[in-house]
Every structure is written in structure tokens, then in C-alpha cells.
Amino acid sequence: MALTVQELLDRLPATVNEAERREWATACAHALGLGGMAISLDRELVWFTDDTSARLEDLQFVLGQGPGCS
């Protein structure tokens, strides 16, 4: 059963370990129609769906380019 974005946000505080954070990020990506996603705060990777998403997020910081860089 697909969760709504609000249901996913309501579950966020309960995600305490890496496996739960990945599961939450994957559910968010699917709710938004995405194949994967990564979320960083102040250049620190916080949530990611898979290793590819994490590597792409890291590349943005290393190269100083990408949609997530300021």
C-alpha cells in the first residue's frame, strides 16, 4: 500500500537506524514518483535510498555542481 507524503512525514521521527532511514527515503521517492533520492543538510548526507543516490549526492559536493549545491 502506497503512503501519502503526510503519512511519511508523520513517521519520520520514528526512523532511528540506517535501515529504517533508507526504507523511509525509498517510500518518499516512490510517493513522489522517483526512482531514488538523497537528502543532505549542510553538506552532510542524511537520507538516501541506495548507494547510487548517495554517490551522486557526494559528487555534487566534490565537483561543486548540481541541483543541490548553493
State yes or no: pLDDT of 54 exceeds 80: yes
Q: Which amino acid is at 20?
A: E
Would you tell me how many other CB atoms lie within 10 Å of the CB of residue 48? 24
Write the CB contacts of 5 (distance below 8 Å, at least 6 apart in sequence): 28, 31, 32
What is the pLDDT, as a whole number, of residue 11? 75
More confident of the two residues 30 and 43: 30
Q: Which pTM was predicted?
A: 0.66
Query: How far apart are the C-alpha atoms of 46 and 25, rounded to whole Å?
Result: 10
Determine the average pLDDT of the residues in 5-11. Answer: 77
For residue 57, the Cα-to-chain-centroid distance in whole angstroms is 10
State yes or no: pLDDT of 49 exceeds 80: yes
At residue 1 the predicted structure's pLDDT band, cuts being 50, 70 and 90, is low
